[in-house]
Amino acid sequence: MNIMKSEIGMMVVFTIVILTMPLWLAPIGAGYPDLLQKFAIFGLFAIGYNILFGLTGYLSFGHAAFLGIGSYAAVWSFKLLTMNVLPAILFGVVCSGIFAFCIGYVSLRRSGIYFSILTLAFAQMSYNLAYSVLTPITNGETGLQLTINDPRILDAAVTSATGLPSTTLFGLSMSGYSGFYFCAVVLIIGFFIALRISRSPFGLVLKGIKSNQTRMKYTGFNTRPYMITAFVISGMYAGLAGSLMAVTDPLAGAERMQWTASGEVVLMTILGGAGTLVGPVLGAGLIKYFENIFSAFNDKSLHELFSFLPEILENGVVAIIRPFVGEGWHLMLGLLFMLIIIFLPGGVMKGIDRIKTKFGSKSEKPAEQSE
């Protein structure tokens, strides 16, 4: 497994796997653009979250706020400036970075559960602001959408008004597969940056803070600015993911900032393996896959799926499975999460490591753990 240790090898494998997703996900019903875009976007969100939670151990319950801020900022860029996605992304990342600095500056005065509660409180405040107080900016419950009459200063000279414009990268439409490939490239760049951070002196200091903050202080490190930097970086990743959501679908809604969305990224990271590089991407993919595939089942599709069984058995099986799919897919997710936490506390990546060591692998140590 030497290839996984060298930076280039890891990047090559990751790039190939991500770019070929439309091919190898098609047979399991996940090879369509919207879900593929979600894999890339939430993968990015989770990678960024992992820089905070995985490296420093600080559990933030408020990262959805930055996701939402990135979305709103990007949509405003589409409305006011141009339909080109690059300014939107830049605007989204910068705005969420500024918010992350403010929220992080206050929240990081505390650690442990108090830090988590502070971030949760800030995120809930942001949600309520977006939902009702700041309605002129966010359009409340309905969500911020493009309209034909938006100014779009930079585009005004170019386009004649023929319906709603779509988001573009210098003319290339950002919906469907091209949107996915754009998100995938951003994900790969984001993954590379995370890889470098985790293998840098800065990353080692963050791991030191997670392991023993007391020692860090008596070793001469001013831990707070490090924490704030990590918080801002992960907030910017969230903003990037949020702006990509707006790129692939130019709408920003307040529910993106709800606490459940913050909880989701925590689940993704833990499910995949906090502190590992690939784990969060894997966790994000798993959860989005479950959400899309299992929530689509209804009575009819279940009966068809099990139609090979005798009728009594079929009805029994469907009756047992029904509460866990369709609108009840969260039950399924909860069950999966419990199983992972109980039997694989290190997440899916830990499980893969175990299998590797069990089957006479050539890897010398349970590598990648602290990556």
Partner 1 sequence: MKQPKINRRDVLKGGAALGLAGAAPMFFTRNAYAASYLNDPGNAATVTLGFNVPQTGAYADEGADELRAYELAVQHINGEGDGGMLNTMQPSALKGNGILGKKVEYVTGDTQTKSDAARASAKRMIEKDGAVMITGGSSSGVAIAVQGLCQEAGVIFMAGLTHSNDTTGKDKRRNGFRHFFNGYMSGQALGPVLEKAYGKERNAYHLTADYTWGWTQEASIKASTENIGWKTNNTVKTPVGAGDFSQYITPVLNSGADTLILNHYGKDMINSLTQAVQFGLRDKNVNGNDFVIVVPLYSRLMAQGAGENVKGIFGSTNWHWSLPDEGSQAFVKSFGQAYGFPPSQAAHTCYVQALLYADACERAGTFMPCEVVGALEGHKFDGMGNGPTEYRAEDHQCFKDVLVVKGKENPSSQFDVLEVVEVTPRAQVEYAPDNEFFAGGDLGPCNNGSA
Partner 2 sequence: MSVEDTVLHIADVHKSFGGLHALSDIDLSVQKGTTHAIIGPNGAGKSTLLNVCIGRLIPDRGAVVFDGKELTGKSPHEINQAGVARVFQTPEIFTDLTVMDNVIVPILSKKDGSYKFNPMQNLAHRKDARDQAMELIEDVGLHPDDHAGSLSRGDKRRLELAMCLSQHPKLLLLDEPTAGMSRHDTNSTIELLKKIKERGMTKVVIEHDMHVVFSLADKISVLAEGKIIAEGTPEEVKANPVVQEAYLGG
Least distance (Å) from partner 2 to the CB of residue 118? Answer: 22
Beta-carbon-side half-sphere exposure of residue 274 (alpha carbons within 13 Å): 19
Contact between 204 and partner 2 (CB under 8 A)? yes
User: Which residues, at least 6 apart from 73, have a Cβ–Cβ distance to it below 8 Å?
Assistant: 88, 91, 92, 94, 95, 96, 239, 242, 243
CA distance readout (Å), 296 to 189, 208, 256, 281: 32, 44, 21, 23
Contact partner at residue 175 from partner 1, partner 2, none, CB < 5 to 8 Å by partner kind: partner 1
Contact between 110 and partner 2 (CB under 8 A)? no
Positions touching partner 1 (CB under 8 A) are 16-17, 19-20, 22-24, 27-29, 32-35, 38, 131-132, 140-143, 145-149, 162-164, 166, 173, 175-178, 249-251, 253, 255-256, 292-293, 295-298, 300-301, 304-305, 326-327
Rounded to whole angstroms, how far apart are CA atoms 103 and 340? 31
User: Which residues, at least 6 apart from 149, have a Cβ–Cβ distance to it below 8 Å?
Assistant: none
Least distance (Å) from partner 1 to the CB of residue 97? Answer: 23
Rounded to whole angstroms, how far apart are CA atoms 369 and 190? 20
Per DSSP, the three-state class of 173 is strand
Contact partner at residue 151 from partner 2, partner 1, none, CB < 5 to 8 Å by partner kind: none
Among 2, 160, 162, 214, binds partner 2 (CB under 8 A): 214
CA distance readout (Å), 72 to 78, 94, 251, 326: 10, 12, 8, 30
Span of 101-109, 155-163, 204-212, 343-351 interacting with partner 2 by CB under 8 A: 204-212
Among 101, 131, 177, 202, binds partner 2 (CB under 8 A): 202
Rounded to whole angstroms, how far apart are CA atoms 202 and 186? 23
CB 243 within 8 A of CB 93: yes
Count of Cβ atoms closer than 10 Å to residue 234 Cβ: 30
CB 103 within 8 A of CB 234: no
Among 210, 303, 330, 356, binds partner 2 (CB under 8 A): 210
Least distance (Å) from partner 1 to the CB of residue 222? Answer: 40
Among 94, 125, 197, 293, binds partner 2 (CB under 8 A): 197
Contact partner at residue 253 from partner 2, partner 1, none, CB < 5 to 8 Å by partner kind: partner 1
Question: In which residue are the tokens 């039950």 written?
Answer: 331
Nearer to partner 2, 205 or 282 (CB): 205
Nearer to partner 1, 178 or 370 (CB): 178
Contact between 208 and partner 2 (CB under 8 A)? yes
Q: What residues numbered 233-252 form the site for partner 2, per CB under 8 A?
A: 233
User: Which residues, at least 6 apart from 122, have a Cβ–Cβ distance to it below 8 Å?
Assistant: 62, 65, 103, 106, 107
Contact partner at residue 226 from partner 1, partner 2, none, CB < 5 to 8 Å by partner kind: partner 2
Contact partner at residue 27 from partner 2, partner 1, none, CB < 5 to 8 Å by partner kind: partner 1
- Interacting residues toward partner 2 by CB under 8 A: 7, 193, 196-197, 199-205, 207-208, 210-212, 214-223, 225-226, 229, 233, 365, 370
